[in-house]
Amino acid sequence: MNKITNHMPTEELQAIDAAHHMHPFTTNDELSQKGARIITRADGVTLTDSEGNKILDAMAGLWCVNIGYGRDELADVAARQMRELPYYNTFFMTTHVPGIALAQKLAELAPGDLNHVFFANGGSDANDTNIRMVRTYWAEKGQPERDVIISRWNAYHGSTIGGTSLGGMKGMHGQGSLPIPGIEFIDQPHWWAEGGDTDPEEFGLERARQLEAKILEVGQDKVAAFIAEPVQGAGGVIVAPDSYWPEIQRICDKYDILLIADEVICGFGRTGEWFGSEYYDIKPDIMTVAKGLSSGYAPIGASIVNDKVAKVLDACEFNHGYTYSGHPVACAVALENLRIMEEEGVVNHVKNVAGPYLAEKWHSLADHPMVGETKIVGLMASLALVPEKGSRAPFASDAGTIGFMTRERCFANNLIMRHVGDRMIIAPPLVITTEEIDVLIERARKSLDEAYENVKAAGLLVAAS
Ligand code: PXG
C-alpha cells in the first residue's frame, strides 16, 4: 500500500477518504460524490488546502483553536512530555506533574470557589461526568430521587449518550432512542426566532421563568441541576436578553438547584472574559470546559467543581474515570496554551481590541439587504438571514437552504463561516488582528452579495406566510 502524503493528488486522497472514512455529522454518500476539502497545513488564522487555497478560518477549527495555528511552543512541549512521561493514569492513588499543575492552574483561573478539576477527553464526556456527578452528589446527601437535569431545546452539550441527552437537538435525539430518562427541557432564550411581539427583556424573563415552572412541575425534590451554555454556540450563537441570566441564577439559588455552565465554547477568552460565567456574572457549581483549554492542539476536557460539590464527592468513591483522564501530554499542552494566553494578554485582546473592532464591522453588515439582526459577544458572532428587511419572518424555503447557499459562497471566497439553519456564525481564533478582521468582513460581504444574487435568481427571496 502506498504511503499517503500531502503530495498526492486531491482526487486520489478524496477517493481513499470516501472509501474508508466515516465523517461526523455528514451524509457520507453525498460527501463522496462531492469530495471532501483536504486541509494540509495551517498558520495563524489561515488554512491551506490540498489545492493551495489560503482560507481564513473564521471558526477557529470547531471553535477551539483560540491561540491560532502553528504555535511551535505547543509542539515542543508535547514532544518533551512524550519523551519524559507519555502516559500514566491518575487512578489507583497515582498522579503526575502535568496533571497536578493543570488542575492548580484551572482552580486559579476559574472564578469563585471552583477549585476542583475532574479531567475528561473533551466536552461530551465531561458532560457525561457531570450527569453522574450531580446525581451522585444528591444521592450522597441522602436524596437519590433528586436526579432530573433540566436543559434547553436547541442546546448543544455533545455527542455521547449523555451529551446528546443533555443537548436539545431533536434530530440528534431521534438517533439512538434518546434522551436517557431524567432529562427535561425548557425553551431557549432566542428572541429573534421565538419572541413574537414580546419585548426582548420581557421575553428573557419569561424564558428564564420557564425554569421555575419546570422545577415546580417536576417537583423541587426531584431536580438535581440545570445545565446551559452562557451563549448557545452550535445552536447558532444565540445571545440571551440581558434579563435572562440574573433570573436563572435567582431561580437556581431559590430552589437549591445545581447550576452547570457548559463553557466548552465560551471558556478561555471567547467572550472577552476568561469564562462566559464571568461575562454574565453567574455562579455555577460546575463548569464544563474543553476546546480552548488546549486551543485544540490536544484533546482534553474537564469538569471544574466548586467546594460545595467537591466536599460531598470527595467523601465517597466516585466510580468514574477515563483511561486518558488527565493525559500528561494533553495537560502539558493545555498548560503551555494557558501560559501563552496569559503572557500575550489574549483575553484582554479580545475584550479591548479584536472584540470591539469586530463588533463594529459585524454590525455594519446589518445594512445588507439579506441581513436581519447581527449579534456578537466577544469573538463569537451571528447574523440572521432574512427575505424581507425589517421583518423577522423566516424564508419560505426549508430552514437552512439559504444559509447553505451563503456558506457555499463563503467557501468559494476562502472564508470559513458556518451556517446554522439560516443564521451565519463565526468564532475566529482569539489572536485575530484588526487587519485580518478587515479581510474577514470583506469576504463575508462579498459572499453575502453573491448569495443574495443567487437567492433572488432562484426565486427563493420569499418569506414564509
Ligand atoms: N458542550 C458544548 C457547549 C459544545 O459546543 C460540546 C459540549 C462537546 O464537546 P466535544 O469536545 O466532545 O465535541 C461542545 C462541542 C458545531 C460543533 O458544529 C460544535 C461542537 C462540536 C462539534 C461541532 O458547531 N461543540
Task: Give me the mean pLDDT over the 276-281 stretch.
Answer: 98
Same domain, 175 and 293: yes
Same domain, 337 and 414: no
- Specify whether the backbone of 268 is left (phi greater than 0), alpha (psi in -120 to 50) or beta: left
Query: Helices H, strands E: what count in the chain?
Result: 18, 15
First to last CA, the chain: 57
Ligand 1 geometric centre to CA of 449 (Å)? 30
pLDDT tens digit sequence for 406-419: 999 999 999 999 99
**What does the mean pLDDT of the chain come to?**
97
Same domain, 313 and 174: yes
Same domain, 217 and 192: yes
Reported confidence tier of residue 332, pLDDT bands at 50, 70, 90: very high
Is position 46 within any domain?
Answer: yes
Same domain, 233 and 103: yes
Closest ligand 1 atom number to CA of residue 125: 12
**What is the residue-wise DSSP string for 384-413?**
EE-SSTT--PPBSSPTTHHHHHHHHHHHHT
pLDDT tens digit sequence for 196-242: 999 999 999 999 999 999 999 999 999 999 999 999 999 999 999 99
Mutate to test the pocket of ligand 1, among 66, 119, 131, 156 (most ligand atoms within 8 A of CB): 156
Reported confidence tier of residue 6, pLDDT bands at 50, 70, 90: confident
Same domain, 320 and 350: no
| Strands 418-420 and 423-426, sheet pairing | antiparallel
Mutate to test the pocket of ligand 1, among 291, 324, 424 (most ligand atoms within 8 A of CB): 291
pLDDT of residue 5: 81
Ligand 1 geometric centre to CA of 427 (Å)? 13
| Cα distances (angstroms) measured from residue 124 to each of 87, 119, 259, 278, 283 | 22, 12, 17, 22, 22
Q: Nearest to residue 40, comparing CAs of 54, 20, 26?
A: 54
Ligand 1 geometric centre to CA of 25 (Å)? 12
pLDDT of residue 282: 98
Is position 11 within any domain?
Answer: no
pLDDT of residue 4: 79
Same domain, 179 and 96: yes
Same domain, 214 and 319: yes
Ligand 1 geometric centre to CA of 141 (Å)? 32
pLDDT tens digit sequence for 438-449: 999 999 999 999
| Final residue before a domain boundary, out of 343, 368, 401 | 343
pLDDT of residue 410: 98
pLDDT of residue 207: 98
Ligand 1 geometric centre to CA of 172 (Å)? 13
Is position 417 within any domain?
Answer: yes
pLDDT tens digit sequence for 116-126: 999 999 999 99
Q: Are 47 and 429 in contact (CB under 8 A)?
A: no
User: Looking at residue 300, which CATH number applies to its domain?
Assistant: 3.40.640.10
Is position 28 within any domain?
Answer: no
| Strands 46-49 and 39-43, sheet pairing | antiparallel
User: Rounded to whole angstroms, how far apart are CA atoms 227 and 334?
Assistant: 25
Same domain, 386 and 409: yes
pLDDT of residue 244: 98
pLDDT tens digit sequence for 54-81: 999 999 999 999 999 999 999 999 999 9
Using CB distances shorter than 6 Å, the residues near ligand 1 are 62, 122-124, 127, 156-158, 163, 229, 233-234, 262, 264-265, 290, 301
| Strands 54-57 and 371-377, sheet pairing | unpaired
Report whether pLDDT(1) > 70.
no
Phi, psi for residue 312 in degrees, rounded to 5: -75, -45
In the chain, pLDDT over 70 holds for what percent of residues? 100
User: Looking at residue 434, which CATH number applies to its domain?
Assistant: 3.90.1150.10
Ligand 1 geometric centre to CA of 163 (Å)? 9
pLDDT of residue 2: 67
Domain coverage including residue 233: 73-343
Same domain, 314 and 367: no
| Final residue before a domain boundary, out of 314, 343, 372 | 343
| Final residue before a domain boundary, out of 343, 365, 390 | 343
Closest ligand 1 atom number to CA of residue 122: 11
Strands (E), 300-441: 301-306, 371-377, 380-385, 415-416, 418-420, 423-426
pLDDT tens digit sequence for 150-168: 999 999 999 999 999 999 9
Closest ligand 1 atom number to CA of residue 290: 11
Task: Give me the mean pLDDT over the 11-36 stretch.
Answer: 95
* pTM exceeding 0.95: yes
Q: How many domains does the chain have?
A: 2
Protein residue with least CA distance to atom 9, ligand 1 = 123
Q: Which residues lie across from 377 on neighbouring strands? A: 380
Same domain, 248 and 382: no
Radius of gyration, CA atoms only, the chain:
22
Ligand 1 geometric centre to CA of 433 (Å)? 25
